[in-house]
Amino acid sequence: MKKNTELKETLGSVREIISDSSFDNPTYLGIAYFIRDLFFFSVTMFLLWNVETWYYLPFLWVFAGLSIASLFIIGHDACHGALFKSERFAYWIGQIAMLPSLHAYNQWGYGHNRVHHGHTIKIKGDFVWHPVTPEQYKNFGIFRKAFHRLSWSALGGGIYYLVEIWLKGMVLFTAPMKEALRDKLLMLLFAFGSAGAVFYFGGNTPTGFDLGLGAWFFLKVWLLPFISWNYFIGVTVYVHHIRPEVPWKEADDWTPFYGQMRGTVNYHVPKFLNFFMHNIFIHSPHHVHMKIPFYKLGQALEEIKVYYGAYVVERKSVWKDYIESTSKCKLMDPETKRWMTYAEAFNDEDESEPELEAAT
């Protein structure tokens, strides 16, 4: 624990604040959370398989997305080395926990641990919700402009994550490490195998195979839970780092302190949501030091606030902030690096493309 009150705007000085107890991660606790989350995921999948009452299904799809998110966060912490002391144990627990979200352990870890954490809200560094300038947007084709307006709107959180993070970063890209390709192939095998199994067994009836029934089970049990998960993670990552008053910075003006402290937002969410989301909304301590387990993030935040409270960004309403930010944060001013709306960027000129305005 830091013994003096001298404040330095460096990541190392913030890390000195955090006590050793904030890093305690007994193996049994990580296993207990993993088993708990696996249980809720299994129950939700069982109910989705057997329930056909239409007004229950939307709730089950929401719970499916939450239960997948719970397991993903277990894998997330394992990959950071926060949940278990044994790397081999962390790998197997983390790999299994990430499969329902169709994420490959080391493939994901390369982009998240090295790039996102190493260059948080740095222009040409961080790839997560990376902004574009008005000039870059003007050079987009009509379909790319339409996709930008949709994915940066309130309806687009899950779409952005599905395309920009999962498809491009997890499937089409392969990290330059042998473990990444191995894990990606394992994930793809699970994806196609689970989708095929749901389709086959869902459509298998005593009188033969029903193609329409198989397609319905694929949609009900496999695809919509996956889309639900993408929305939960997409919105979560968005509110972590996108705020109208938080500009991104160029490399020569960026510091790790700025990225992890000023560019990372903390939310205190209802207990029900936090039961599934494992303190993921208490986010700046995680960015200050990745080896703090999720169940210690609250403690670490309070320790950081003793000295660096003025630098900690805390907000109360995830949903309100998400709506506000998606209405104001569309493009980035190339000079000030601050967020702009399309109208502000183009001053209502022809380039504002009014025919696309409804998509935002």
Q: What is the pLDDT of residues 135-155, one digit of tens each?
A: 999 999 999 999 999 999 999
User: Which pLDDT does position 353 carry in this prediction?
Assistant: 52
Q: How confident is the model at residue 357 (pLDDT cuts 50, 70, 90)?
A: very low
First vs last Cα of the chain: how many Å apart? Answer: 47
- Mean pLDDT in residue range 74-97: 96
C-alpha triplet 206, 208, 209: angle, nearest 5°? 120
**Domain boundaries of the chain, sorted by first residue:** 11-345
CB 249 within 8 A of CB 337: yes
The radius of gyration of the chain's CA atoms, rounded to the nearest angstrom, is 21
Percent of the chain with pLDDT over 70: 95
Tell whether the torsion through CA atoms of 290, 287, 79 and 175 is positive or negative. negative
Answer yes or no: is pLDDT of 1 > 90: no
CA dihedral angle for residue 247, residue 269, residue 44, residue 49, rounded to 10 degrees: -50
Lowest-confidence segment of 62-76, 168-182, 210-224 by average pLDDT: 168-182
- Taking 90 as the threshold, does the pLDDT of residue 356 lie above it? no
Q: What is the pLDDT of residue 349?
A: 52
pLDDT in tens, 301-353: 999 999 999 999 999 899 999 999 999 999 999 998 899 999 999 974 544 45
Residue type at position 70: S
Instruction: Please compute the mean of the pLDDT values over residues 55-71 and round it to a whole number.
Output: 98
Inter-axis angle of helices 27-50 and 87-98, nearest 10: 20
State the pTM of this model.
Answer: 0.92
pLDDT tens digits for range 6-32 = 688 999 999 999 999 999 999 999 999
Q: 177-224, pLDDT tens digit by residue?
A: 889 999 999 999 999 999 999 999 999 999 999 999 999 999 999 999
Query: Chain-centre distance of CA 152, in angstroms?
Result: 15
User: In the chain, what percentage of residues exceed pLDDT 90?
Assistant: 90
- Across 280-289, average pLDDT: 96
Q: What angle do CA 38, 64, 150 make, to 5 degrees?
A: 135
pLDDT of 355 above 80 = no
What mean pLDDT is predicted for residues 112-118?
A: 94
Confirm if 154 and 327 have CB atoms less than 8 A apart. Answer: yes
Q: How far apart are CA 45 and CA 85, in angstroms?
A: 31
Predicted pLDDT at 4: 43
pLDDT over 70 at 47, yes or no: yes
Other residues' Cβ atoms within 10 Å of the Cβ of residue 238: 23
Residue 347 pLDDT: 79
177 sits in which H/E element: none
In 16-77, at which residue ranges do the beta strands (DSSP E only) sit?
none
How confident is the model at residue 358, as a pLDDT? 40
312 neighbors 14 (Cβ within 8 angstroms): no
Distance CA 78, CA 237 (A): 18
Pairing state between β 208-209 and 204-205: antiparallel
Q: Tell me the residue length of the chain.
A: 360
Whether 2 and 18 have beta carbons less than 8 Å apart is answered as no
